[in-house]
Amino acid sequence: MRFLNPGSALRVSREKRTIRAMVLIYCRGRHGLTSLCSDCQELLDYAHCRLDRCPFGDNKPTCVNCPIHCYKPTMRANVKEVMRYAGPRLIFRHPILAFMHLLDGRRSPLHEQT
């Protein structure tokens, strides 16, 4: 199953789904909205842009383990806040994404595909 392969061509796509799920959980929990507020939408758009431009492509590690921190300091702080809130809740709402995110966190940034 390509979805379960951490190094598959679906890696960046899955990372986008994960950050979207986390931002949705955060916005619903903190802001009480059923859809994203403008600040959360801006953060999600920024994260997607950074993922699209990641130099590691599908071999990328999770951002926290990356040697290149490409986020602006304010956006990085916002993403950390979102992940601190949404990370534990992701396990119950999206268990497969949470599990894959944990597996991806164990990857090195220079992981070679064979």
Residues 41-54: pLDDT tens digits? 999 999 999 999 88
What confidence tens digit (pLDDT) does each residue in 66-90 have?
788 889 999 999 999 999 999 899 9
Q: Which of 8-17, 48-57, 103-112 has the lowest mean pLDDT?
A: 103-112
Is pLDDT at 28 greater than 90 in this prediction? yes
Can you give the pTM of this predicted structure?
0.81
Looking at the chain, the whole-number percentage of residues with pLDDT higher than 70 is 85
φ, ψ for residue 54, nearest 5 deg: -60, 125
Q: How far apart, in whole angstroms, are the C-alpha atoms of residue 9 and residue 60? A: 11
Confidence at residue 79, expressed as pLDDT on a 0 to 100 scale = 94
The answer to whether 22 and 30 are in contact (CB under 8 A) is no
